Amino acid sequence: MLAYTYVERGRFELREKEKPVLLDAGDAIVRVTLASICTSDLHIKHGSVPRAVPGITVGHEMVGVVESVGSSVKTVRPGDRVTVNVETFCGECFFCQNGWVNNCTDPNGGWALGCRIDGGQAEYVRVPCADQGLNRIPDSVTDEQALLVGDVLATGYWAADISGIQKRDTVLILGAGPTGICTLQCVLLKEPRRVIVCDKDPHRLKFVRDHYLTVLTCGPEQVEDLVLAYSDHGGADVVLEVAGGEETFQMAWKLARPNATVTVVALYDGPQTLPLPEMYGKNLTFKTGGVDGCNCAETLALIEAGKLDTVPLITHTYALRDIEAAYDLFEHKRDGVIKVAVRMEN
């Protein structure tokens, strides 16, 4: 089968590999139908994910059809259409029992697929802990509708969920990339009084304005004025930092009102400074990533009910054999790209 492979720092390659087989009673083999490219794949490519193992197949956001299951798998059967969760988790350890599956203590726990073990930018993928890692896609939900469930939508849902958003709140979201927009959709489900989205890319802001009519948008230069104009207590009640820049991290705590919650969803390239003397007296609560991706059943139900829709984010689709071109477009942010889907032809 064909598999897009992390060869060495700076180089991915489409290679012929053996089709994966069941290795453990909890495994499933999934025939991938649609995969997507994530910014984290680019982080692997550029060598900024030390855990990533050269030789592995990349890709951690995909949907497909279950081909075979190990003897202990109970929740899915061959033939089921499924989403694949970015995180592998056992469902039994202390962290899993508390819903903190990102910190699952299983040797494969956390982000393994497409990082430490073979992922899904390939025709087939082996999914460990399949009872936790796969969710059946409702019949009325298409592959495109379900594609982002396992990673960026899981992240957005988790971020909105841990932020304690109330109906009276002004919520500021920094960053309108794919994760920012998924976060926005999930924040809107909480029905806060006002939502402001800030990004430096005018195309992204236009996308937000076109699709989410009640949301206010601005660039970094206007954000302070806009937040102050639309909040009652000197800053946003909740700030979600999804952009991952140095300036946005500082913006996040500065634009929060005293006693606000600042949820840091972003993954940074380097350490950030918490200027505690300047912050003193603001009494902020920080929540930090990464995602506890155990909410896929809920998000699939919300998609089925028409309350979440990530299809507009998939701006481009390529065949697996053209995946180089897909990466090139995504990496260089050409042609208004938000998310790129890769279609398998098996």
317 vs 345: CA distance, rounded Å: 13
Closer residue to Zn ion in complex, CB, 192/289: 289
Q: Give the rounded distance of the alpha carbon of 69 from its chain centre.
A: 26
Binding residues among 91-110 for Zn ion as defined by CB under 5 A: 93, 96, 104
Closer residue to Zn ion in complex, CB, 231/295: 295
Q: How many residues bind Zn ion (CB under 5 A)?
A: 8
90 binds Zn ion (CB under 5 A): yes
29 binds Zn ion (CB under 5 A): no
- Work out how close the CB of 135 gets to Zn ion at its nearest, in angstroms, rounded to a whole number: 17
| Angle subtended by helix axes 178-189 and 202-211, to nearest 10 | 30
Considering only the stretches 23-31, 81-89, 156-164, 182-190, report the one whose residues sit in contact with Zn ion under the rule CB under 5 A.
81-89
3 state SS of 120: coil
- Work out how close the CB of 40 gets to Zn ion at its nearest, in angstroms, rounded to a whole number: 4
List b or e across 126-165, with b for residues whose CB sees 16 or more CB atoms inside 10 angstroms.
bbbbbbbbbbbbeeebebbbbbbbbbbbbbbbbbbbbbeb
| Angle subtended by helix axes 296-304 and 152-162, to nearest 10 | 100
* Backbone conformation region of residue 333, classed left if phi is above 0, alpha if psi is from -120 to 50, else beta: left
- Work out how close the CB of 213 gets to Zn ion at its nearest, in angstroms, rounded to a whole number: 28
- Work out how close the CB of 38 gets to Zn ion at its nearest, in angstroms, rounded to a whole number: 3
- Work out how close the CB of 275 gets to Zn ion at its nearest, in angstroms, rounded to a whole number: 30
- Work out how close the CB of 79 gets to Zn ion at its nearest, in angstroms, rounded to a whole number: 27
The one among 151, 161, 241, 292 contacting Zn ion by CB under 5 A: 151
Closer residue to Zn ion in complex, CB, 96/341: 96
Classify strands 62-69 and 28-36 as parallel, antiparallel or unpaired. Answer: antiparallel
- Residue 27, strand partner residues: none
Q: Which two tokens stand for residue 62?
A: 């995909």
The one among 38, 227, 240, 344 contacting Zn ion by CB under 5 A: 38
Q: According to the 3-state scheme, what is the secondary structure of 60-114?
A: CCEEEEEEEECCCCCCCCCCCEEEECCEECCCCCHHHHCCCHHHCCCCCCEECEC
Closer residue to Zn ion in complex, CB, 35/256: 35
Binding mask 213-232 for Zn ion (x = CB under 5 A): --------------------
For the chain, what is the largest distance between any 2 Cα atoms, rounded to a whole number of angstroms?
Answer: 60
40 binds Zn ion (CB under 5 A): yes
- Work out how close the CB of 153 gets to Zn ion at its nearest, in angstroms, rounded to a whole number: 11
* Backbone conformation region of residue 114, classed left if phi is above 0, alpha if psi is from -120 to 50, else beta: left
Closer residue to Zn ion in complex, CB, 156/192: 156
Closer residue to Zn ion in complex, CB, 134/171: 134
Binding residues among 154-173 for Zn ion as defined by CB under 5 A: none
The residues binding Zn ion (CB under 5 A) are 38, 40, 89-90, 93, 96, 104, 151
